[in-house]
Amino acid sequence: MCIKCEIGLASLSLEYLFHPRSIAVAGVSGDSDSFNAGLRYLLIMAESGFKGSLHGVNPSGNEVAGFKIYASVRDVPGEVDYVISAIPARFTPQLMNDCVVKGVKAVQFFTAGFSEIEDAGGKKLEAELLSIARSNGIRIVGPNCLGLYCPETGLSFSPQFPRQSGDFAFMAQSGGNSVNCVCEASSRGIYFSKVISFGNAIDLNECDFLEYLADDPKTRVIGVYLEGARDGARFARILRETTKRKPVIVLKAGSTDAGVRAAASHTGSMAGCNDMWESMLRQAGAIRVHSIGEVVDVASVFLRMSFPKGRRALLIGPGGGASVIAADDCARAGLVLPLLPAASREKLKQLIGTETGGGFRNPIDLYRPDLLKQAVEAVGDWDEFDVLLAHLPFELYGLMPDATKDAIRSVFVQAVLSLNESLFKPHAVVLHASTADKSRQQAMELQAKLSQAGFAVFESIGRAASAMNKAIGYYEWRQRAMVGDNGRFL
């Protein structure tokens, strides 16, 4: 049974978690040079622009890296809204008791070593923490988690996280996957309203956080990494309501025997039956994905592209062989590549010529990116496609010297940027680079430029096509679900 149902708190009340006035971190020691998790929390939040007060706690007291350290949470002057525990598991009940005395509202346990380890003591400790929390109205985030990232208020748990806010929210049982998601997304121009790493979720769990994010006006799209559910039935119910308002992208891991075992070791989760999850997620209108990269792919479609009315794609970019593989990848991922009509093909032939081959049927095999805008305009009166995919394979133009290839890539970026102004269809860009150093470096540069300009940028045609197919599937589901409903669209 879920604590929230018992004590009837409204999900909106979780807003206070993201706006603490003062934070105390238990387990701060060492100096700036050595690694101490507690100290790192203080340093990272100070760097992230946290406006409230930050305090350190350690039985030995003193001062560390400019932060005054108190022997106990009870000794911290003034009110303490939020406590982060970075102390060994065996000391956590004492910390909880101190938090009760101090009137702390919520405690996040970075501390691991609870139900996820093969030791009866871990489960017992969790029960003890939960009991203290429930008797005293303190909420727990975790244990075994990295906690909260909210760029607006300066809450953070990684020095890599940007200070810029966005409208994507990610909630995850895994801290590492949260870090991965923020890094992947922000390098592609997607920023966050909130990220919640909630680990073993003994008190506040997936249901509470999803319900909160569903109502959060600063969140437009939600990503979820889940290993198991504490309250599956309630989660399904909340999910079904949430998806009517916002897309929810779910990476449910622990979906194979080996994964189930790994999930138990990681967050003590009962991962459950994959078939059951699959059908629950489908019925609830969630979008299921299988990697953090895919979470960001699908979020990019929602956040960076206008709504594609259907699955008919027009594919344009250099490379005969690359175009054949791209066409296969699109089709396999559920997109359709309609044949360009003869009149359009003739226009392209006039524009491009036949010296580099005859790819005018869709895909359009365009070796000269300086003609990209003209080529798109030449077929622009043809209305039988829903989305434009411009792609650039980096290992082409075999014969060309590096300088010429560099120039071609610059022209491609300029041409794509010019599309932004003239084209009414939703469009996306695929930069497919090999693992060769130069290729990767150039892809990173171009990705940065195009992401900053607002484009959805993908690493491969297959990933772009699959993300679009899933996003379109969600729009279709929602249209069906909304019949007779007053809910609003995005």
- Strands (E) across 304-375 are located at 313-317, 364-365
Q: Closer to a second copy at the Cβ: 217 or 401?
A: 401
- What is the bridge-based pairing of β-strands 221-226 and 165-172? parallel
Closest to a second copy by CB, 136 or 439: 439
Instruction: DSSP letter for 425, please.
Output: S
Residues 6+ apart with CB under 8 A from 296: 181, 184, 185, 188, 190
What is the C-alpha separation between 388 and 368, in angstroms, rounded?
A: 17
Nearer to a second copy, 7 or 399 (CB): 399
CB of 433 to a second copy, least distance (A): 9
Taking the least distance from each CB to a second copy, the nearer of 339 and 490 is 339
Query: Is the CB of 285 or the CB of 363 nearer to a second copy?
Result: 363
- Report d(CA 147, CA 167) in Å as an integer: 19
Question: Token match 């599309």: residue?
Answer: 419
Q: Which lies closer to a second copy via its Cβ, residue 265 or residue 422? A: 265
Distance in Å, CB of 415 to a second copy, minimum: 18
Specify whether the CB–CB gap between 177 and 185 falls below 8 A. Answer: no
State the nearest-atom distance from the C-beta of 157 to a second copy, in Å: 5
- Measured between alpha carbons, how far is 366 from 76 in angstroms, rounded to an integer? 66
Provide the minimum distance between the beta carbon of 137 and a second copy in the complex, in angstroms, as a whole number. Answer: 29
* Rounded least distance, CB 109 to a second copy, Å: 13
Whether cis (ω within 30° of 0) applies to the bond prior to 217 is no
Residue 13 is classified by DSSP as G
DSSP assigned state of 490: -
Q: Write out the DSSP string of 289-322.
A: -SSHHHHHHHHHHHHHS---SSSBEEEEES-HHH
| Shortest separation between residue 387's beta carbon and a second copy, angstroms | 14
Q: Which is nearer to a second copy, 367 or 474 (CB)?
A: 367
Comparison of 219 and 255: residue with beta carbon closer to a second copy: 255
Smallest gap, in angstroms, from Cβ of residue 434 to a second copy? 4
H/E stretch holding 168 reads strand 165-172
User: Cβ of residue 42: shortest distance to a second copy, in angstroms?
Assistant: 10
Burial-class residue 137 by CB neighbours within 10 Å (0-12, 13-18, 19+). Answer: exposed
Of 467, 242, 186, 263, nearest to 195 (Cα)? 186
Could you tell me the smallest distance in angstroms from the CB atom of residue 330 to a second copy?
A: 6
Beta bridge partners of 431: 392
Phi and psi at residue 120, in whole multiples of 5°? -60, -30
Q: Select 3 or 210, whichever has its Cβ closest to a second copy.
A: 210
CA triple 228-233-239, angle to 5 deg: 80
Shortest CB 13 distance to a second copy, Å = 27
- Rounded (10°) CA dihedral 347, 350, 356, 361: 20
Of 123 and 218, the one with the shorter C-beta distance to a second copy is 123
